[in-house]
Structure 1
Amino acid sequence: MRKTTKSVLAVACALAAFTAAGCGTTSENSGQVKQQNPLAKCKGPGGHYTIGMSQANLAEPYRVRMDDDIRQAAQRVPQFDVQFSDAAKDNSKQISDVENFITKQVDLLMISPNEAAPLTDVVRQAYNKGIPVIVLDRKVDGDAYTTFIGADNTDIGRRAGEYFKTAVLPQGGKIVQIKGLSGSTPAAEREKGFEQGIAGSGIQVVATADGEWERSVAQQKMDAMLKAHPDIQAVYSQNDPMAEGAYLAAQAAGKRDLKITGIDGLPIPSGGIKAVEDGRLQATFVYPTGGAEAVAAAKSLLVDCKPVPKTQTLGTERVTRDNAVEVYDRLNHR
């Protein structure tokens, strides 16, 4: 009888673990995803809401602009108080930042993950505690979030590849690629899309380096690639700061005819659109920050009590010297 009782208890404990009800296991850390009511935090226009925004880093101008866009849009929603954190490219720091927001019991979490896999669990924890989660730009694994807002990085990479095939090197040639941080989803998707875009052409990617999304790192990597491959004709950079780093390295090496393209197209004086207008870059592709859209989604969930789509895909456009002035002015007067 004693053995039977122990067996029953063991089975009950195992079942409880699966339902996150006992045995030292919770659904927040078991890998399961709770069914969330995304409108549970909504108190209507009369409520006051604290939002935590966890940024991957502030070393990239793109991420500074994202925070600025969130800050500016949130100023138009009097019910919102947005608190920002900077992970400084450190996964452990970003995990701690999100845990801090969970402890503070924020009404909504926004996050642009440094890398997908390391941030997945803590984002799931927030989601499983009933906190609506808006994931921006870079993804996490699985679907433990309320909505993802970002451009289609595979499509952007494909468009960049097609541009190389039709306008940059229509006769084919040798190029190098400067990727973003390994482990971040845009880096993998922009590479995959680019390969699709140049398929069937005579374009050969002879080397690829990880520039970590930063100009100084890309400049060092580009210098090394130019020494190893002095006959390259163009550079595909996965963002504009790295493209600028490649430009500086090329100038130092006397390769002033090298054709360089980037991605981001920030409408700021130091951004990619101005770099195209000034002739440093051949082209760039606009990559919206999603900041304003994130605040709009938060308002819908918390103030208006309306659901939002699981995925919100933002548009892009190619910027060359032909349209750089017009695009810059238009994006600054939305």
Structure 2
Amino acid sequence: MHSKSAHRGHNVWRAMLLAGTFLTVAGVAQAADPLVKACSKTGEFVIGFSQANNAEPYRQHVNDELTAAAKAVPQFTLQIADGAGSVNTQTSQVDNFITQKVDLLLISPFEASPLTPAVQRAMKAGIPVIELDRKTVGDPGKDYTAFIGGDNYKIALEAGNYTAKTLLPDGGDVAVLEGLPSSTPAVERLNGFKDGVKQNSKIKVVAEQAADWLPDKAQTAFAAMLQANPDIKMVYASNDMMAAGARLAAKGAGKEGQIKIIGTDGLPGPAGGIRAVAEGEWAATFTYPTGAKEAIDMAKSILLDCATSVEPTVTVATMAITPDNAKSLMGK
């Protein structure tokens, strides 16, 4: 009797040990699964990038920085497709990249919801997707591999704080030019700025309108705002292009130099915000980092280093470009 129960106990113990071994093996296998099966230090990899719209100077800036970062990695070939500001164009580009079996997909979605299914198809096909600057619907790390970008809300909040404390400490009427309302940065920048200026009760946001990131639309919208609200002292534009349009409207109304302008993007070059601040045309702009270097670094860890996971959200810091530092940043 005693030996039977001992034998049974031994079997149970053996089964538990075996189960433990299997669990351990399964655990190890699970933990060690790389995000891409064909990853290798010596492999050659194609990265497809679906860019929202090459016509925007900021997006060209992103393309330039991505191209430079990818060139530094001999194993990488970067293919950039221009979404041309069209959801349909961008969707078919993503599908082309899937058919082509690219090793990794980068995307800056022109609009969030319409491009969500295309991103899901890429993920189902086993292609890691890094979203740059704009998100589709869902959660990074689950519905797509990762999101890299600036914190749009925080950047605009800083612009609001700067307005409340430095530009208009005594208050006044303020206007906001919003980006394309169906894109996440437009909404986050609008809310961030409005929350930032709230700390100064003497500031009143008297007008806000979407100008879809475009300078001509911003010029028309701001001209109308100035007619309806002649006491506007400052305008916050959600990108540098709309800030340039707002300046033309102020000039047209005979108010150049009287209205303080803040842009967002802090682009280099003759048409960019850094020059506009350095030459006294605008009061400030806030850099919107491209995340290009971070995206290529993440691609390296996935494709070359066989990473089993990556940081789902990488936030790249902003910098305030003001009259204090703009001249020293020119040409950098």
> Structure 1 length as normaliser, TM-score?
0.85
C-alpha distance in 2, partners of 1:41/1:140?
25
Preserved contact between residue 39 and residue 302 of structure 2 (Cα < 8 Å): no
Pairing of 1:1-334 with structure 2 (within 5 A) = 39-143=35-139, 144-201=143-200, 202-256=202-256, 257-306=258-307, 307-328=309-330, 332=332
Preserved contact between residue 174 and residue 231 of structure 1 (Cα < 8 Å): yes
Shift of 1:308: 2.1
C-alpha distance in 2, partners of 1:183/1:300?
32
Q: Secondary structure at the match of 2:264?
A: coil
Cα offsets for 1:278-300 (capped at 9, x unmatched):
11110011111111211111111
Preserved contact between residue 38 and residue 146 of structure 1 (Cα < 8 Å): no
Q: Secondary structure at the match of 2:212?
A: coil
Q: Closer, same or farther in 2 for the Cα pair 1:199/1:249, shift >3 Å? A: same
- The match for 2:8 is none
Shift of 1:328: 3.6
Larger Cα Rg: Structure 1 or Structure 2? 2
- Amino acid across the alignment from 1:85: A
Structure 1: gaps of 5 or more residues: 1-36
Q: Closer, same or farther in 2 for the Cα pair 1:220/1:46, shift >3 Å? A: same
C-alpha distance in 2, partners of 1:196/1:289?
24
Q: Secondary structure at the match of 1:110?
A: strand
C-alpha distance in 1, partners of 2:297/2:45?
14
Q: Closer, same or farther in 2 for the Cα pair 1:41/1:321, shift >3 Å? A: farther
Preserved contact between residue 265 and residue 287 of structure 1 (Cα < 8 Å): yes
Shift of 1:267: 2.4
- Amino acid across the alignment from 2:327: V
- Amino acid across the alignment from 2:120: R
C-alpha distance in 1, partners of 2:246/2:280?
14
Cα offsets for 1:268-326 (capped at 9, x unmatched):
23211111001111001111111121111111110121232000000011111111123
C-alpha distance in 2, partners of 1:164/1:59?
30
- Amino acid across the alignment from 2:68: Q
Preserved contact between residue 134 and residue 149 of structure 1 (Cα < 8 Å): yes
Q: Closer, same or farther in 2 for the Cα pair 1:41/1:182, shift >3 Å? A: farther
- Amino acid across the alignment from 1:50: V
Preserved contact between residue 74 and residue 80 of structure 1 (Cα < 8 Å): yes
Aligned-CA RMSD value: 1.3
Q: Secondary structure at the match of 2:149?
A: strand
Preserved contact between residue 54 and residue 112 of structure 1 (Cα < 8 Å): yes
- Amino acid across the alignment from 2:83: A
Cα offsets for 1:116-141 (capped at 9, x unmatched):
11111111111121100010001111
Shift of 1:210: 1.1
Q: Secondary structure at the match of 2:137?
A: coil
Shift of 1:42: 4.2
Preserved contact between residue 42 and residue 301 of structure 1 (Cα < 8 Å): no
> Structure 2 length as normaliser, TM-score?
0.86
Structure 2: gaps of 5 or more residues: 1-32
- Amino acid across the alignment from 2:58: Y
* Identity over aligned pairs, percent: 50
Preserved contact between residue 109 and residue 131 of structure 1 (Cα < 8 Å): yes
